[in-house]
Amino acid sequence: NPLWTEILAAILFLIICWLIRDSLNVKDLNGKHVFITGCDSGFGNLLAKQLDQRGFHVIAACLIEKGSRELLACTSLSLKTVILNLTDSSSIANAVEFVKQETDGEGLFGLVNNAGRATPMAPTDWMQIDDFHTILDVNLMGLIEITLKLLPVMGRLAFLGGGYCLSKWGVEAFSYILRRDMQHFGVKVSIIEPGCFKTGVTSSEVIERDLLRLWNQLTPEVRESYGDKYFVECKLCDSDISKVTKCMEHALIAKYPRTRYGSGWDAKFFWLPLSYAPTLLSDMMLRMLLPTPAASRKSLSRVPLDV
Exposure class string for 119-157: b at 16+ Cβ within 10 A, else e: eeeeeeeebeeeeeebbebbbbebbebbbebbeebbbee
**Angstrom distance (rounded) from CA 3 to CA 11:** 12
User: Quick check: 53 and 47 in contact, CB under 8 A?
Assistant: no
Measured torsion, CA atoms of residues 290, 203, 265, 275, in degrees rounded to the nearest 10: 40
Structure-model confidence comparison of residues 81 and 201, the more confident one: 81
pTM: 0.68
For 32-49, how does the pLDDT look when each residue is reduced to its tens digit (9 = 90+)?
Answer: 898 989 888 888 888 888
Is residue 144 scored above 50 in pLDDT? yes
Side chain identity at residue 280, one-letter code? L
User: Quick check: 163 and 221 in contact, CB under 8 A?
Assistant: no
**Angstrom distance (rounded) from CA 13 to CA 7:** 10
User: pLDDT at position 295, please?
Assistant: 65
Run of H or E residues at 260? strand 260-263
**What residues are labeled active site?**
164
Q: Give mean pLDDT, residues 263-286.
A: 79
Is residue 281 scored above 90 in pLDDT? no
Angle at 31 between CA 30 and CA 32, to 5 degrees: 95
Phi-psi domain of 33 (left: phi exceeds 0; alpha: psi -120 through 50; beta: other): beta
Q: Give mean pLDDT, residues 155-166.
A: 51
Provide the mean pLDDT of the chain: 78
Is residue 214 scored above 70 in pLDDT? yes
Side chain identity at residue 167, one-letter code? S
Q: Give mean pLDDT, residues 294-299.
A: 58
For 42-85, how does the pLDDT look when each residue is reduced to its tens digit (9 = 90+)?
Answer: 888 888 888 898 888 999 999 999 999 999 999 999 999 999 99
For the ranges 27-41, 189-203, 220-234, the maximum mean pLDDT occurs at 27-41
Alpha helix locations (H) across the chain?
2-23, 42-53, 65-73, 89-102, 129-136, 143-150, 162-182, 204-217, 220-226, 242-253, 265-266, 272-276, 279-289
User: Quick check: 44 and 38 in contact, CB under 8 A?
Assistant: yes
Residues in the chain: 307
Is residue 146 scored above 80 in pLDDT? yes
The CATH superfamily assigned to 29-158+297-307 is: NAD(P)-binding Rossmann-like Domain (3.40.50.720)
- Structural domain spans, the chain: 29-158+297-307
Side chain identity at residue 142, one-letter code? G
Q: Give mean pLDDT, residues 155-173.
A: 61
